[in-house]
């Protein structure tokens, strides 16, 4: 515990909570520095992660990040950190924020019919980041702190997702002046299309997928009875854009690019999560019955998830046996294998996880399931050892701190439990909640080292909270 708590604190520097800093004067510049962009994005993400619509599903999120990193590797800012995340919203939308944070709605993922189509959206959004389009929009105004800039960035995103509610949200963020700048300019869109198309091709995806997705968006508009998808409101699809992209791809030879199995599995996973359990079971049984469309492995995977949600675990396990015989080696399916073994109360399940994690050591869903099982089997020390390793790898993952708290509580180590829960609260943008947990931690133990760390963090967080109060 001691060796990583102080290091973890460094992951949450005061610049993430810019209200606690003195006024910076006019922080607007012709171009915001990359460091400042990242800070704006980080602070904005604190608010986004606190939203109920933020989908912290490790399978879907990790897949999106693998796909995104494949594209970023061929961009002009390949060494810069990017984070891709999912918003649980059926609206067709995706958006980019300063600093390399890119969000995609579940509705858009489900609309795409190929991995290259999804990659075309990501490449477009990556290009908005690498060309610093949103940063230019924000930097054109005058703000007295990074926090104010982050607030307006979030207001922009809120308005872009819901233009009808823009006025109220923007006024609240002192950004009524930004209303006229909510949408990217035509030049921004053309530039993101051009660079995104090159990025798509260089990354091994089918560039013809971009105009195909444009067509799909236009069809979606008609299906919505005249209502325009959010993505088209924030990324206006002009005739000029369509023609320009169409002309460009005509010059590129066509080649067949196969979708990854993970793409189909994640779409099936979202269908299984968003439909009612009964509807999902019927949907996937129907899909399996019609073998002309879709990926049968993904359909069976979705059926198994739906059956589990519907309480039909025995039948789900039977379906999994069929899936496992036919599926190639895959981390997501291996994670499901672990859950099926738990359903069957397999006495060798812990050994299964140890073996699986040697093959897929970074697959978060597999890591989580193993740790949860260790806690359930009262192997708390082993669970905490695994959690220490994961926190050192990814200190921005709130799930890890929640699991630590469970293990510490079970061991009666309440001071440490409350301490790590303060980090959980911080990562959800809840500064008051973090302070409350630290105050509880003070009362729960007498470890000198921990008390010293807790007092330091309490002092910092209270200073930030007081600065926030004075600014209101």
**3-state DSSP call for residue 88?**
coil
Q: Torsion-angle region of residue 276: left (phi > 0), alpha (psi -120 to 50) or beta?
A: beta
**3-state DSSP call for residue 183?**
coil
Rounded-to-integer distance, Cα 278 and Cα 296, Å:
19
pLDDT computed for residue 340 by the predictor: 97
Percent of the chain with pLDDT over 70: 80
2-16, 186-200, 205-219, 395-409: least confidently modelled range: 2-16
Reply yes or no on domain 261-471 having CATH 3.10.20.740: no
The arithmetic mean of pLDDT across residues 140-166, rounded, is 47
Chain segment 248-270, per-residue pLDDT in tens: 999 888 888 999 999 999 999 99
User: Chain-wide mean pLDDT for the chain?
Assistant: 83
90-104, 135-149, 243-257: least confidently modelled range: 135-149
Starting from the edge strand earliest in sequence, which strands make up the sheet with 94-97, in order?
A: 54-55, 83-87, 101-105, 94-97
Q: Is the pLDDT of residue 53 over 70?
A: yes
Q: Is the pLDDT of residue 271 over 90?
A: yes
Please count the other Cβ atoms lying within 10 Å of the Cβ belonging to residue 311: 10
Q: Read off φ and ψ for residue 81, nearest 5 degrees.
A: -75, 135
Which residues pair with residue 84 across a beta bridge?
Answer: 102
Angle between helices 209-223 and 186-202 in degrees, nearest 10: 130
pLDDT computed for residue 224 by the predictor: 56
The whole-angstrom distance between residue 353's C-alpha and the CA centroid of its chain comes to 25
**3-state DSSP call for residue 228?**
coil
pLDDT computed for residue 6 by the predictor: 35
Residues 6+ apart with CB under 8 A from 67: 84, 115, 118, 119, 122, 263
Q: State the pLDDT confidence band at 227, using cuts at 50, 70 and 90.
A: low
Nearest to 31 by CA among 121, 149, 135, 134: 135
Q: Is the pLDDT of residue 15 over 70?
A: no
Rounded-to-integer distance, Cα 31 and Cα 125, Å:
19
Please count the other Cβ atoms lying within 10 Å of the Cβ belonging to residue 29: 11
pLDDT computed for residue 150 by the predictor: 52
* Whole-angstrom Cα Rg for the chain: 24
The arithmetic mean of pLDDT across residues 25-52, rounded, is 71
The arithmetic mean of pLDDT across residues 86-102, rounded, is 90
Rounded-to-integer distance, Cα 266 and Cα 127, Å:
24
The arithmetic mean of pLDDT across residues 439-464, rounded, is 91
Q: Give the residue range(s) of CATH 1.25.40.10 domains in the chain.
A: 261-471
Helix ranges (H only) for 142-276 are 146-161, 166-172, 186-202, 209-223, 230-234, 239-250, 261-274
148-157, 206-215, 285-294: least confidently modelled range: 148-157
pLDDT computed for residue 259 by the predictor: 97
Residues 6+ apart with CB under 8 A from 397: 364, 390, 391, 427
82-96, 115-129, 216-230: least confidently modelled range: 216-230
**3-state DSSP call for residue 64?**
helix
Of residues 440 and 43, the one with the higher pLDDT is 440
pLDDT computed for residue 97 by the predictor: 85
Nearest to 72 by CA among 263, 188, 203, 194: 203
Q: Is the pLDDT of residue 451 over 90?
A: yes
Chain segment 164-205, per-residue pLDDT in tens: 443 333 333 333 333 344 455 778 888 899 999 999 999 999
Highest-confidence segment of 141-145, 156-160, 163-167, 423-427: 423-427
Q: What is the pTM of this model?
A: 0.84
Antiparallel, parallel or unpaired: β 54-55 and 83-87: antiparallel
Rounded-to-integer distance, Cα 304 and Cα 290, Å:
17
pLDDT computed for residue 222 by the predictor: 65
**3-state DSSP call for residue 327?**
coil
Tell the burial category of 291 from Cβ atoms under 10 Å away from its Cβ (0-12, 13-18, 19+): exposed
Provide the residue count of the chain.
472
- Largest Cα span, the chain: 71
**3-state DSSP call for residue 236?**
coil
**Residue burial 333-358, b: 16+ Cβ < 10 Å; e: rest:** bbbbbbbbbbeeeeeebbebbeebbe
């Amino acid at each position: 515990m001691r060796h990583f708590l102080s290091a973890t604190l460094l992951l949450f520097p005061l610049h993430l909570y810019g209200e606690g800093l003195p006024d910076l004067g006019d922080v607007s510049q012709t171009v915001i520095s990359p460091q400042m962009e990242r800070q704006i994005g980080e602070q904005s993400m604190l608010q986004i992660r606190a939203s109920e619509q933020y989908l912290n599903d490790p399978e879907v999120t990790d897949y999106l990040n693998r796909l995104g990193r494949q594209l970023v590797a061929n961009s002009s800012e390949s060494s810069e950190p990017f984070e891709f995340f999912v918003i649980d919203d059926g609206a067709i939308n995706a958006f980019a924020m300063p600093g390399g944070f890119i969000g995609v709605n579940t509705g858009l993922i489900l609309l795409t019919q190929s991995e290259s189509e999804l990659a075309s959206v990501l490449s477009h959004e990556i290009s908005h980041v690498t060309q610093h389009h949103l940063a230019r929009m924000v930097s054109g105004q005058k703000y007295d702190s990074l926090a104010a800039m982050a607030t307006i960035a979030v207001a922009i995103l809120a308005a872009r997702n819901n233009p009808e509610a823009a006025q109220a949200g923007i006024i609240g963020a002192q950004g009524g002046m930004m209303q006229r700048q909510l949408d990217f300019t035509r030049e921004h869109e053309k530039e993101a299309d051009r660079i995104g198309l090159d990025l798509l091709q260089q990354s091994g995806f089918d560039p013809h997928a971009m105009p195909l997705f444009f067509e799909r968006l236009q069809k979606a508009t008609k299906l919505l009875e005249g209502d325009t998808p959010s993505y088209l409101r924030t990324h206006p699809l002009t005739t000029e854009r369509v023609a320009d992209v169409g002309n460009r791809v005509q010059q590129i030879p066509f080649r067949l690019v196969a979708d990854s199995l993970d793409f189909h599995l994640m779409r099936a996973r979202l269908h299984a999560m968003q439909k009612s359990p009964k509807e999902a079971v019927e949907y996937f049984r129907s899909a399996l019955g019609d073998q002309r469309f879709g990926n049968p492995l993904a359909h069976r995977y979705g059926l198994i998830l739906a059956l589990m949600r519907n309480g039909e675990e025995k039948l789900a396990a039977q379906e999994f046996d069929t899936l496992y015989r036919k599926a190639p080696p895959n981390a997501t399916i291996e994670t499901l294998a672990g859950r099926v073994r738990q359903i069957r109360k397999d006495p060798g399940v812990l050994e299964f996880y140890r073996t699986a994690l040697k093959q897929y050591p970074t697959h978060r869903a597999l890591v989580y399931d193993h740790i949860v099982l260790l806690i359930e089997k009262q192997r708390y020390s082993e669970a905490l050892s695994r959690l220490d390793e994961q926190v050192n790898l990814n200190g921005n993952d709130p799930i890890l701190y929640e699991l630590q708290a469970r293990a510490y509580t079970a061991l009666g180590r309440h001071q440490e439990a409350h301490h790590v829960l303060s980090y959980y609260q911080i990562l959800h943008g809840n500064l008051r909640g973090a302070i409350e947990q630290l105050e509880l931690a003070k009362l729960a133990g007498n470890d000198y080292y921990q008390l010293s760390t807790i007092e330091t963090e309490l002092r910092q967080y209270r200073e930030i909270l007081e600065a926030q109060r004075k600014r209101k």
